[in-house]
Amino acid sequence: MAGNYRLKIDQGTTIERPLRWTRDGLPVDLTGATARMEIRDKAGGTLIHRLDTENGGITLGGVTGTILLIIAAEVSSAWTARAAVYDLEVVEATGKVSRLIEGAVTISAEVTTGG
């Protein structure tokens, strides 16, 4: 069963959120695994952003069990939503899919913009 974790994203900032997946207190070996995460306005709704290991939005740390979520500042600057939902899935090298975390996303509006 997925853990529930609320994400708060400050619009217009670079997000680098580290996580670690463990089983029985030991890091899960993510060697050969892939991961994917979608942020949507509601479950089954409009896609706001997708992160995965192929597009560079998620980096896996192999035997350390680490997962790094990355969202560039210019990406979140374009978002108009202020609330959303997400989930994070890992596909292990064996093909087993696990939903690790899920929950609500709060997007704090950017006041100062670049330029």
For domain 3-108, the CATH architecture is: Sandwich (2.60)
Q: How far is CA 15 from the centre of its chain?
A: 10
Report the DSSP beta bridge partners of residue 63: none
Q: How far is CA 53 from CA 33, 38, 57, 61, in A?
A: 9, 12, 6, 11
Query: What residues does each domain of the chain span?
Result: 3-108
Q: What is the pLDDT of residues 11-20, one digit of tens each?
A: 999 999 999 9
Name residues whose C-beta falls within 8 Å of residue 86's C-beta, 6 or more positions apart in sequence.
7, 37, 38, 39, 40, 102, 103, 105
Task: Say if CB 50 and CB 35 are below 8 A apart.
Answer: no
What is the pTM for the complete model shown? Answer: 0.92
What sign does the dihedral 76-80-84-87 (CA atoms) show?
Answer: negative
Q: What is the pLDDT of residues 38-93, one digit of tens each?
A: 999 999 999 999 999 999 999 999 999 999 999 999 999 999 999 999 999 999 99
